[in-house]
Amino acid sequence: MSEQPAADDTNPRENRSGPMLDVSGLAVSFGDQSVVSGVDFSVDRGSLVGLVGPNGAGKTTVLRAVKGTLDPAAGTVYVDGEPIRNESAKAVSRLVASTPQGTNLSFDFSVKQTVEMGRTPHLGRFDRMGEADRRAVERAMERASVARFADRPFTSLSGGERQRVLLARALAQETPILLLDEPTASLDINHAVRTLELVRALVGDGKTAVAAIHDLNLAARYCDELVLLAGGGVRAAGRPVDVLTSDTLRDAFNAETLVTTQPGTDAPLVTPLPERDSVDRRVHVVGTGKPAAAAVSTLVGAGCRVSVGVVPSGDTAAERAADLDCERVTVPAFAGIDDAARQHAVDLAAAADAVVRAGEIGDGNSPVVEAGGACIAVETDESAYTSTAHDTVPLTALPAAVASLPPVPEQDATPSLNQSTTD
Protein backbone atom coordinates (compact mmCIF):
# COMPACT_ATOMS: atom_id res chain seq x y z
CA MET A 1 0.00 0.00 0.00
CA SER A 2 2.74 2.38 0.89
CA GLU A 3 4.77 1.57 -2.21
CA GLN A 4 2.12 1.93 -4.86
CA PRO A 5 1.05 5.59 -4.71
CA ALA A 6 4.55 6.69 -3.82
CA ALA A 7 5.71 5.24 -7.09
CA ASP A 8 3.31 7.57 -8.90
CA ASP A 9 4.99 10.54 -7.35
CA THR A 10 8.32 9.50 -8.69
CA ASN A 11 10.35 12.45 -9.69
CA PRO A 12 13.77 12.37 -11.28
CA ARG A 13 15.08 14.24 -8.30
CA GLU A 14 13.61 12.00 -5.69
CA ASN A 15 16.50 9.69 -5.05
CA ARG A 16 18.54 12.28 -3.27
CA SER A 17 19.04 12.45 0.41
CA GLY A 18 18.58 15.57 2.49
CA PRO A 19 15.40 17.40 3.22
CA MET A 20 12.68 17.49 0.59
CA LEU A 21 11.97 21.12 1.25
CA ASP A 22 14.39 23.62 2.62
CA VAL A 23 13.53 27.22 3.31
CA SER A 24 16.57 29.32 3.92
CA GLY A 25 16.73 32.93 5.08
CA LEU A 26 13.33 33.66 3.60
CA ALA A 27 12.14 37.26 3.83
CA VAL A 28 8.95 38.61 2.30
CA SER A 29 7.71 42.15 2.30
CA PHE A 30 4.71 43.81 0.77
CA GLY A 31 5.91 47.23 -0.23
CA ASP A 32 7.78 48.62 2.76
CA GLN A 33 5.99 46.30 5.13
CA SER A 34 8.10 43.33 6.09
CA VAL A 35 5.90 40.30 6.70
CA VAL A 36 8.49 37.70 7.59
CA SER A 37 12.25 37.68 7.61
CA GLY A 38 14.96 35.19 8.38
CA VAL A 39 12.66 32.22 8.12
CA ASP A 40 14.60 28.96 8.10
CA PHE A 41 13.16 25.52 8.31
CA SER A 42 13.37 22.27 6.48
CA VAL A 43 11.00 19.40 5.94
CA ASP A 44 12.18 15.82 5.65
CA ARG A 45 10.70 13.68 2.92
CA GLY A 46 7.68 11.77 4.09
CA SER A 47 6.89 14.01 7.00
CA LEU A 48 4.17 16.47 7.88
CA VAL A 49 5.21 19.82 9.25
CA GLY A 50 2.68 22.23 10.69
CA LEU A 51 3.04 25.98 10.47
CA VAL A 52 1.42 27.49 13.53
CA GLY A 53 1.31 30.97 14.89
CA PRO A 54 -0.97 33.89 15.57
CA ASN A 55 -3.08 35.62 12.95
CA GLY A 56 -0.94 37.65 10.61
CA ALA A 57 2.26 35.82 11.55
CA GLY A 58 2.87 35.02 7.91
CA LYS A 59 1.86 31.35 7.66
CA THR A 60 0.09 31.85 4.36
CA THR A 61 2.88 34.12 3.16
CA VAL A 62 5.49 31.44 3.78
CA LEU A 63 3.34 28.89 1.95
CA ARG A 64 2.96 31.26 -0.98
CA ALA A 65 6.70 31.74 -1.16
CA VAL A 66 7.19 27.97 -1.14
CA LYS A 67 4.77 27.44 -3.99
CA GLY A 68 6.36 30.29 -5.89
CA THR A 69 3.35 32.58 -6.17
CA LEU A 70 5.14 35.47 -4.57
CA ASP A 71 8.70 36.63 -4.91
CA PRO A 72 10.64 36.67 -1.67
CA ALA A 73 12.66 39.78 -0.89
CA ALA A 74 15.48 37.53 0.24
CA GLY A 75 16.19 33.89 0.84
CA THR A 76 15.70 30.78 -1.17
CA VAL A 77 13.33 27.87 -1.22
CA TYR A 78 14.98 24.61 -2.18
CA VAL A 79 12.91 21.70 -3.33
CA ASP A 80 14.96 18.55 -3.16
CA GLY A 81 18.11 20.59 -3.16
CA GLU A 82 17.19 22.74 -6.16
CA PRO A 83 16.28 26.41 -5.76
CA ILE A 84 12.85 27.11 -7.25
CA ARG A 85 13.34 30.81 -7.67
CA ASN A 86 14.06 30.74 -11.39
CA GLU A 87 11.80 27.86 -12.27
CA SER A 88 8.76 28.48 -14.44
CA ALA A 89 5.33 28.28 -12.85
CA LYS A 90 4.83 25.04 -14.71
CA ALA A 91 8.02 23.44 -13.38
CA VAL A 92 7.17 24.45 -9.81
CA SER A 93 3.63 23.17 -10.16
CA ARG A 94 5.00 19.70 -10.93
CA LEU A 95 6.89 19.72 -7.64
CA VAL A 96 4.58 21.53 -5.27
CA ALA A 97 0.80 21.22 -5.13
CA SER A 98 -1.30 23.27 -2.78
CA THR A 99 -4.80 23.58 -1.48
CA PRO A 100 -5.95 27.14 -0.92
CA GLN A 101 -7.63 28.38 2.22
CA GLY A 102 -10.90 28.46 0.36
CA THR A 103 -11.82 29.05 -3.19
CA ASN A 104 -14.63 31.16 -4.51
CA LEU A 105 -15.43 29.68 -7.84
CA SER A 106 -17.89 32.03 -9.48
CA PHE A 107 -18.58 29.67 -12.34
CA ASP A 108 -20.13 26.25 -12.04
CA PHE A 109 -17.46 23.72 -12.84
CA SER A 110 -18.27 20.17 -11.85
CA VAL A 111 -16.19 18.41 -9.23
CA LYS A 112 -14.54 16.32 -11.90
CA GLN A 113 -13.68 19.34 -14.04
CA THR A 114 -12.21 21.01 -10.99
CA VAL A 115 -10.04 18.01 -10.19
CA GLU A 116 -9.01 17.70 -13.84
CA MET A 117 -7.53 21.17 -13.61
CA GLY A 118 -4.94 19.59 -11.35
CA ARG A 119 -3.50 17.99 -14.48
CA THR A 120 -2.71 21.38 -16.03
CA PRO A 121 0.99 21.22 -15.07
CA HIS A 122 1.38 18.01 -17.05
CA LEU A 123 -0.36 19.16 -20.24
CA GLY A 124 1.06 21.22 -23.07
CA ARG A 125 -1.05 23.90 -24.66
CA PHE A 126 -2.34 21.61 -27.38
CA ASP A 127 -2.38 18.37 -25.42
CA ARG A 128 -5.53 16.54 -24.56
CA MET A 129 -5.99 14.60 -21.34
CA GLY A 130 -4.49 11.18 -21.95
CA GLU A 131 -5.14 7.85 -20.31
CA ALA A 132 -2.54 8.54 -17.61
CA ASP A 133 -4.15 11.88 -16.82
CA ARG A 134 -7.59 10.36 -16.53
CA ARG A 135 -6.27 7.68 -14.23
CA ALA A 136 -4.55 10.25 -12.06
CA VAL A 137 -7.82 12.18 -11.75
CA GLU A 138 -9.76 9.03 -10.87
CA ARG A 139 -7.19 8.07 -8.27
CA ALA A 140 -7.14 11.52 -6.72
CA MET A 141 -10.93 11.62 -6.48
CA GLU A 142 -10.96 8.15 -4.99
CA ARG A 143 -8.32 9.03 -2.46
CA ALA A 144 -10.06 12.20 -1.29
CA SER A 145 -13.45 10.38 -1.33
CA VAL A 146 -15.05 12.79 -3.74
CA ALA A 147 -15.60 10.29 -6.56
CA ARG A 148 -19.23 9.81 -5.67
CA PHE A 149 -20.10 13.41 -6.39
CA ALA A 150 -17.86 13.76 -9.42
CA ASP A 151 -20.62 15.25 -11.55
CA ARG A 152 -22.05 17.67 -9.04
CA PRO A 153 -21.27 21.38 -9.42
CA PHE A 154 -18.50 22.51 -7.10
CA THR A 155 -20.62 25.38 -5.83
CA SER A 156 -23.31 23.00 -4.58
CA LEU A 157 -20.94 21.33 -2.12
CA SER A 158 -20.56 21.96 1.58
CA GLY A 159 -17.40 23.48 3.01
CA GLY A 160 -15.95 20.12 4.00
CA GLU A 161 -16.66 18.58 0.61
CA ARG A 162 -15.11 21.55 -1.17
CA GLN A 163 -11.99 21.21 0.91
CA ARG A 164 -11.71 17.57 -0.12
CA VAL A 165 -12.24 18.44 -3.79
CA LEU A 166 -9.43 20.99 -3.58
CA LEU A 167 -7.29 18.33 -1.96
CA ALA A 168 -8.16 15.95 -4.79
CA ARG A 169 -7.13 18.63 -7.27
CA ALA A 170 -3.78 18.93 -5.54
CA LEU A 171 -3.38 15.14 -5.53
CA ALA A 172 -4.09 15.03 -9.26
CA GLN A 173 -1.00 17.19 -9.68
CA GLU A 174 1.05 14.19 -8.49
CA THR A 175 3.73 16.26 -6.84
CA PRO A 176 6.16 15.13 -4.17
CA ILE A 177 5.24 18.11 -1.97
CA LEU A 178 1.81 19.07 -0.76
CA LEU A 179 1.03 22.42 0.87
CA LEU A 180 -2.18 22.91 2.78
CA ASP A 181 -3.35 26.32 3.89
CA GLU A 182 -5.71 25.95 6.82
CA PRO A 183 -7.11 22.62 5.62
CA THR A 184 -9.38 22.44 8.63
CA ALA A 185 -10.57 26.04 8.83
CA SER A 186 -14.36 26.18 8.86
CA LEU A 187 -14.62 22.41 9.20
CA ASP A 188 -16.39 20.73 12.07
CA ILE A 189 -14.28 18.42 14.22
CA ASN A 190 -15.38 15.32 12.37
CA HIS A 191 -14.38 16.70 8.98
CA ALA A 192 -11.27 18.33 10.38
CA VAL A 193 -10.06 15.05 11.80
CA ARG A 194 -10.95 13.12 8.66
CA THR A 195 -9.07 15.61 6.52
CA LEU A 196 -5.97 15.41 8.69
CA GLU A 197 -6.18 11.61 8.86
CA LEU A 198 -6.15 11.64 5.07
CA VAL A 199 -3.15 13.94 4.98
CA ARG A 200 -1.45 11.67 7.50
CA ALA A 201 -2.14 8.70 5.23
CA LEU A 202 -0.74 10.55 2.23
CA VAL A 203 2.38 11.38 4.17
CA GLY A 204 2.60 7.72 5.11
CA ASP A 205 2.59 6.96 1.38
CA GLY A 206 5.62 9.13 0.83
CA LYS A 207 4.33 12.65 0.28
CA THR A 208 5.99 15.52 2.05
CA ALA A 209 3.45 17.94 3.46
CA VAL A 210 3.42 21.37 5.04
CA ALA A 211 0.18 22.63 6.54
CA ALA A 212 -0.68 25.97 8.04
CA ILE A 213 -2.96 25.02 10.89
CA HIS A 214 -4.75 27.37 13.20
CA ASP A 215 -5.77 24.82 15.76
CA LEU A 216 -2.73 24.12 17.92
CA ASN A 217 -4.11 20.88 19.29
CA LEU A 218 -4.90 19.40 15.88
CA ALA A 219 -1.48 20.54 14.70
CA ALA A 220 0.18 18.95 17.71
CA ARG A 221 -1.63 15.69 17.20
CA TYR A 222 -1.08 15.23 13.47
CA CYS A 223 2.20 16.92 12.64
CA ASP A 224 5.63 15.35 12.99
CA GLU A 225 7.12 18.75 13.59
CA LEU A 226 5.84 22.24 14.11
CA VAL A 227 7.23 25.60 13.04
CA LEU A 228 5.95 28.39 15.24
CA LEU A 229 5.85 31.68 13.36
CA ALA A 230 5.40 34.92 15.27
CA GLY A 231 6.59 38.46 15.10
CA GLY A 232 7.90 38.05 11.56
CA GLY A 233 10.11 35.05 12.16
CA VAL A 234 10.38 31.50 13.45
CA ARG A 235 9.95 31.45 17.23
CA ALA A 236 10.39 27.75 17.71
CA ALA A 237 10.65 24.65 15.59
CA GLY A 238 10.81 20.99 16.35
CA ARG A 239 8.66 18.29 17.86
CA PRO A 240 5.22 19.54 18.97
CA VAL A 241 6.04 18.80 22.60
CA ASP A 242 9.09 21.07 22.39
CA VAL A 243 7.41 23.86 20.46
CA LEU A 244 4.13 24.10 22.32
CA THR A 245 5.15 25.19 25.77
CA SER A 246 3.56 27.85 27.90
CA ASP A 247 6.62 30.04 27.51
CA THR A 248 6.87 29.96 23.72
CA LEU A 249 3.12 30.34 23.42
CA ARG A 250 3.13 33.34 25.75
CA ASP A 251 5.85 34.83 23.59
CA ALA A 252 4.17 34.09 20.30
CA PHE A 253 0.52 34.64 21.09
CA ASN A 254 0.80 37.00 24.01
CA ALA A 255 -1.61 34.70 25.78
CA GLU A 256 -1.58 32.53 28.85
CA THR A 257 -2.02 28.87 28.15
CA LEU A 258 -2.10 25.69 30.07
CA VAL A 259 -0.15 22.93 28.34
CA THR A 260 -0.99 19.38 29.32
CA THR A 261 -1.09 16.12 27.39
CA GLN A 262 -3.78 15.02 24.96
CA PRO A 263 -5.50 11.94 26.30
CA GLY A 264 -4.44 8.82 24.48
CA THR A 265 -1.40 10.37 22.84
CA ASP A 266 1.76 12.08 23.93
CA ALA A 267 0.89 15.22 21.96
CA PRO A 268 0.63 18.41 23.97
CA LEU A 269 -2.81 19.81 24.73
CA VAL A 270 -3.00 23.57 24.77
CA THR A 271 -5.77 25.21 26.73
CA PRO A 272 -5.95 28.97 26.42
CA LEU A 273 -6.72 30.79 29.63
CA PRO A 274 -8.79 33.90 29.92
CA GLU A 275 -6.79 37.03 30.33
CA ARG A 276 -7.11 38.40 33.87
CA ASP A 277 -4.98 39.71 36.66
CA SER A 278 -2.69 37.05 37.87
CA VAL A 279 -3.39 35.89 41.43
CA ASP A 280 -0.03 36.16 43.11
CA ARG A 281 -0.54 33.68 45.94
CA ARG A 282 1.07 30.58 47.14
CA VAL A 283 -1.50 27.80 47.46
CA HIS A 284 -1.23 24.27 48.76
CA VAL A 285 -3.81 21.83 47.43
CA VAL A 286 -4.85 18.83 49.45
CA GLY A 287 -7.01 16.22 47.81
CA THR A 288 -7.12 13.58 45.13
CA GLY A 289 -8.75 12.69 41.87
CA LYS A 290 -10.32 14.91 39.29
CA PRO A 291 -11.55 17.60 41.69
CA ALA A 292 -8.03 18.17 43.01
CA ALA A 293 -6.58 18.06 39.47
CA ALA A 294 -9.13 20.66 38.35
CA ALA A 295 -8.28 22.85 41.31
CA VAL A 296 -4.57 22.63 40.43
CA SER A 297 -5.19 23.57 36.77
CA THR A 298 -7.44 26.45 37.73
CA LEU A 299 -5.01 27.84 40.27
CA VAL A 300 -1.98 27.51 37.98
CA GLY A 301 -3.98 29.14 35.23
CA ALA A 302 -4.81 32.02 37.52
CA GLY A 303 -1.12 32.55 38.23
CA CYS A 304 -0.80 30.98 41.68
CA ARG A 305 2.29 29.08 42.75
CA VAL A 306 0.81 25.72 43.60
CA SER A 307 2.03 22.78 45.62
CA VAL A 308 0.15 19.51 46.13
CA GLY A 309 0.18 16.77 48.68
CA VAL A 310 0.24 14.38 50.10
CA VAL A 311 -1.15 12.44 47.13
CA PRO A 312 -0.66 8.86 46.05
CA SER A 313 1.65 8.79 43.02
CA GLY A 314 -0.36 7.94 39.92
CA ASP A 315 -3.34 9.86 41.14
CA THR A 316 -4.87 12.25 38.60
CA ALA A 317 -4.00 15.18 40.79
CA ALA A 318 -0.38 14.06 41.06
CA GLU A 319 -0.10 13.70 37.29
CA ARG A 320 -1.66 17.08 36.65
CA ALA A 321 0.73 18.66 39.13
CA ALA A 322 3.63 16.99 37.33
CA ASP A 323 2.33 18.22 33.95
CA LEU A 324 2.20 21.75 35.26
CA ASP A 325 5.53 21.63 37.03
CA CYS A 326 4.02 22.07 40.51
CA GLU A 327 5.78 20.93 43.60
CA ARG A 328 4.14 17.80 44.89
CA VAL A 329 4.51 15.41 47.77
CA THR A 330 3.67 11.90 46.73
CA VAL A 331 3.71 8.52 48.35
CA PRO A 332 3.30 5.13 46.67
CA ALA A 333 -0.34 4.21 46.18
CA PHE A 334 -1.95 2.24 49.05
CA ALA A 335 1.20 2.63 51.13
CA GLY A 336 -0.18 5.08 53.65
CA ILE A 337 1.44 8.40 54.48
CA ASP A 338 4.82 8.24 56.11
CA ASP A 339 5.99 10.89 58.55
CA ALA A 340 8.58 12.42 56.27
CA ALA A 341 6.04 13.02 53.53
CA ARG A 342 3.50 14.37 55.98
CA GLN A 343 6.01 16.75 57.47
CA HIS A 344 7.04 17.99 54.02
CA ALA A 345 3.41 18.65 53.11
CA VAL A 346 2.76 20.36 56.45
CA ASP A 347 5.70 22.69 55.81
CA LEU A 348 4.39 23.55 52.35
CA ALA A 349 0.89 24.18 53.72
CA ALA A 350 2.24 26.36 56.49
CA ALA A 351 4.19 28.45 54.03
CA ALA A 352 1.22 28.87 51.67
CA ASP A 353 -1.20 31.78 51.71
CA ALA A 354 -4.06 29.31 51.54
CA VAL A 355 -4.80 25.65 51.69
CA VAL A 356 -7.36 24.39 49.22
CA ARG A 357 -9.04 21.07 49.73
CA ALA A 358 -10.69 19.33 46.82
CA GLY A 359 -12.04 15.85 46.47
CA GLU A 360 -11.33 12.98 48.77
CA ILE A 361 -8.69 13.48 51.41
CA GLY A 362 -7.65 10.77 53.77
CA ASP A 363 -7.37 11.21 57.52
CA GLY A 364 -3.61 11.14 57.13
CA ASN A 365 -3.80 14.57 55.49
CA SER A 366 -5.69 16.27 58.36
CA PRO A 367 -2.50 17.72 59.84
CA VAL A 368 -1.68 19.25 56.48
CA VAL A 369 -5.07 20.97 56.30
CA GLU A 370 -4.72 22.17 59.88
CA ALA A 371 -1.22 23.52 59.19
CA GLY A 372 -2.46 26.10 56.75
CA GLY A 373 -3.81 29.40 57.93
CA ALA A 374 -6.82 29.97 55.70
CA CYS A 375 -8.60 27.03 54.18
CA ILE A 376 -10.94 26.99 51.21
CA ALA A 377 -12.87 23.92 50.10
CA VAL A 378 -13.92 23.36 46.53
CA GLU A 379 -17.49 22.33 45.95
CA THR A 380 -17.80 18.83 44.56
CA ASP A 381 -20.66 16.64 43.54
CA GLU A 382 -20.42 14.84 46.84
CA SER A 383 -21.04 17.99 48.81
CA ALA A 384 -21.96 15.99 51.86
CA TYR A 385 -18.32 16.30 52.62
CA THR A 386 -18.56 20.04 52.93
CA SER A 387 -17.79 21.16 56.40
CA THR A 388 -19.04 24.40 57.87
CA ALA A 389 -15.62 25.07 59.23
CA HIS A 390 -14.36 26.10 55.81
CA ASP A 391 -15.46 28.45 53.09
CA THR A 392 -16.83 26.35 50.28
CA VAL A 393 -16.70 27.80 46.78
CA PRO A 394 -17.37 26.45 43.29
CA LEU A 395 -14.30 25.77 41.18
CA THR A 396 -14.82 28.83 39.02
CA ALA A 397 -14.78 31.11 42.03
CA LEU A 398 -11.64 29.54 43.46
CA PRO A 399 -9.08 32.07 42.12
CA ALA A 400 -11.18 34.97 43.37
CA ALA A 401 -11.53 33.34 46.78
CA VAL A 402 -7.80 32.81 46.99
CA ALA A 403 -7.11 36.36 45.85
CA SER A 404 -9.36 37.73 48.60
CA LEU A 405 -7.09 36.23 51.29
CA PRO A 406 -4.31 38.37 52.69
CA PRO A 407 -0.87 37.15 51.65
CA VAL A 408 1.19 35.61 54.40
CA PRO A 409 4.51 37.40 54.80
CA GLU A 410 7.34 35.40 53.32
CA GLN A 411 9.47 33.72 55.95
CA ASP A 412 13.05 32.78 55.56
CA ALA A 413 12.35 29.31 56.84
CA THR A 414 9.89 28.39 54.11
CA PRO A 415 10.73 25.21 52.35
CA SER A 416 12.04 25.83 48.86
CA LEU A 417 9.73 25.41 45.95
CA ASN A 418 12.14 23.08 44.29
CA GLN A 419 11.04 19.88 42.80
CA SER A 420 10.92 17.49 45.71
CA THR A 421 9.16 14.25 46.15
CA THR A 422 9.67 11.75 48.83
CA ASP A 423 8.98 8.56 47.02
Partner 1 sequence: MRFAGRTVGWSAGLVAVLCAVVTTSAGIGPVWIPPGIVGKVLLNAVVVPTGISVSGPAVDVTTAHVFSYAVSDLQTQIVMQVRLPRILLGAVVGFSLAAAGTIMQGIFRNPMADPSIIGVSSGAAVGAVGFIVAPVVIPFGLGLRGAAFVGALVAAFGVYLIATRNGRTPVATLLLAGVAIQTFLGAVVSFLLLHSGESIRRALFWLMGHLKGASWPEVTSSVVLVAVPFVVLLAYARDLNVMLLGEEDAQSLGIEVERTKRVLLALSAVITAAGVAVAGIVGFVGLIVPHVMRLLVGPDHRILLPTAALAGASFLVATDTLARSGSAEVPVGIVTAVLGAPFFLYLLRKREVHEL
Q: Is-contact 173 93, C-beta < 8 A?
A: yes
Can you tell me the distance from the alpha carbon of 305 to that of 346, in angstroms, rounded to the nearest whole number?
A: 16
Q: In the complex with partner 1, which residue's Cβ is closer, 126 or 334?
A: 126
By CB under 8 A, tell whether 206 contacts partner 1: no
Using rule CB under 8 A, residue 94 touches partner 1: yes
The rounded distance, in Å, linking the Cα atoms of 320 and 182 is 31
Q: How far is CA 144 from CA 135, 137, 163, 398, in A?
A: 14, 11, 9, 48
According to the binding rule CB under 8 A, does residue 15 interact with partner 1?
no
Using CA of residue 271, residue 277, residue 281, residue 283, what is the dihedral sign?
Answer: negative
162-201 mask for partner 1 (x: CB under 8 A)?
-----------x----------------------------
Cα(53)–Cα(28) distance, integer angstroms: 17
SS3 150: coil
Q: With binding defined as CB under 8 A, does residue 106 bind partner 1?
A: yes
The order of strands in the sheet holding 74-79 is 33-43, 21-30, 74-79, 82-83
CB of 140 to partner 1, least distance (A): 13
Residue number, 100 or 415, with CB nearest to partner 1:
100
Of 14, 108, 197, 325, the one binding partner 1 by CB under 8 A? 108
- Alpha-carbon gap, residue 100 to 89, rounded angstroms: 16
Contact stretch for partner 1 (CB under 8 A) within 66-74, 138-146, 197-205, 345-353: 66-74
Helix (H) or strand (E) holding 378: strand 374-378
78 binds partner 1 (CB under 8 A): no
Q: From the CB of 84, what's the least distance to partner 1, in Å?
A: 12
Nearest-approach distance from CB 302 to partner 1, in angstroms: 44
> Least distance in Å: CB of 69 to partner 1?
5
Nearer to partner 1, 110 or 414 (CB): 110
135 binds partner 1 (CB under 8 A): no
Q: Which of 17, 55, 86, 104 binds partner 1 (CB under 8 A)?
A: 104
CB 213 within 8 A of CB 53: no
Q: How far, in Å, CA of 398 to CA of 404, rounded?
A: 10
Shortest Å, Cβ 113 to partner 1: 7
Residues forming the site for partner 1 (CB under 8 A) = 64, 67-69, 88-94, 96-98, 100, 103-110, 113-114, 117-118, 120-121, 123, 125-126, 128, 173
